[in-house]
Amino acid sequence: MTMQAEEIKKIYGGYSGAYDFIFKGFFYPRIKHAIETMHIKPGDRILDVGVGTGLSLPLFPSYCIVTGIDLSSAMLKEAHKKIESNGLKHVTLLEMDAQNLAFEDDSFDHVISTHVVSVVPDPVKAIAEMKRVCKRNGNIILVNHFQSSNKVIAKFDTLISPFTKKVGWRTDLSLERLIKDTNLDVRSQYKMNKIDLWKVVCAINNKGNGVSG
Ligand SMILES: C[S@@+](CC[C@H](N)C(=O)[O-])C[C@H]1O[C@@H](n2cnc3c(N)ncnc32)[C@H](O)[C@@H]1O
């Protein structure tokens, strides 16, 4: 395991017990909205990359099959508690690196990853893996904070990023650059309200559509 992965495991291991208390209020409504945009059908296989404490898990319909992966066993332990307390028989959790997913190509109908791409050391690799394991034309939904398009705020995002990295995420990830580097076929990107710090990014898995991916 790389130093960066060890560091991330340590940071999120530290958050795990208090994560829901600190972050649920901010993250839950956006996660709920993101899942609703997926239009999940009965029997669909869903992958949640960086599932964390499993805030998303009770929100998936029970008629789909959900796999959640995360690097941090401590975060997954909290997610397991949600499976038990909510009786979520359609959910499986696995300890795994988003940058090296242990699934066959085309294993899932849709992939979601919330508040994760600015945490993983190599977001381009993580998205390439999401595309590989997701079926052609499946939804790839990302929720994340990205560097602001406002030049002054973007500078601030870059300035504070070395500090926010120490607490678990970077603030200088450019969505425009990420889309270019991953050839992600983004159909919509928006904030749920004007002052929101996080964006919902809805993409279609374009592999095999004559577009390289
Ligand atoms: C901010 S939390 C988001 C958790 C959850 N998706 C949510 O929205 O509440 C980021 C999560 O990404 C996980 N993570 C970071 N790097 C990872 C990697 N390389 N592979 C898998 N999970 C990773 C962390 O362990 C943590 O649980």
Residue 124 CB contacts under 8 Å (≥ 6 apart), including other chains: 178, 181, 182
Cβ(201)–Cβ(186) below 8 Å: yes
Q: Distance from the CA of 132 to the center of ligand 1, in angstroms?
A: 19
Q: What is the pLDDT of residues 159-210, one digit of tens each?
A: 998 988 888 889 999 999 999 999 999 999 999 988 889 999 999 998 866 5
**Is 3.40.50.150 the CATH number for 3-204?**
yes
Tally helices (H) and strands (E) across the chain: 6, 7
Half-sphere exposure of 105 (CA within 13 A, CB side): 7
Closest among 56, 71, 30, 84 to 200, alpha carbons compared: 30
Q: What are phi and psi of 87, to 5 degrees?
A: 60, 50
Q: What is the pLDDT of residues 145-171, one digit of tens each?
A: 999 888 999 998 999 989 888 888 899
Q: What is the pLDDT of residues 117-145, one digit of tens each?
A: 999 999 999 999 999 999 999 999 999 99
The pair of structure tokens assigned to 113 is 């990853």
Half-sphere exposure of 37 (CA within 13 A, CB side): 23
Cβ(26)–Cβ(133) below 8 Å: no
Whole-model pTM: value is 0.95
CA dist 94 and 73 (Å) reads 9
Q: From atom 3 of ligand 1, which residue's Cα is the shortest distance away?
A: 115
Half-sphere exposure of 190 (CA within 13 A, CB side): 7
Compute the Cα dihedral for 19, 157, 4, 47 and give only its sign. Answer: positive
Show the ligand 1 pocket: residues with CB < 6 angstroms.
Answer: 8, 12, 27, 31, 50-52, 55, 69-72, 75, 97-99, 114-116, 119-120
Q: Distance from the CA of 119 to the center of ligand 1, in angstroms?
A: 7
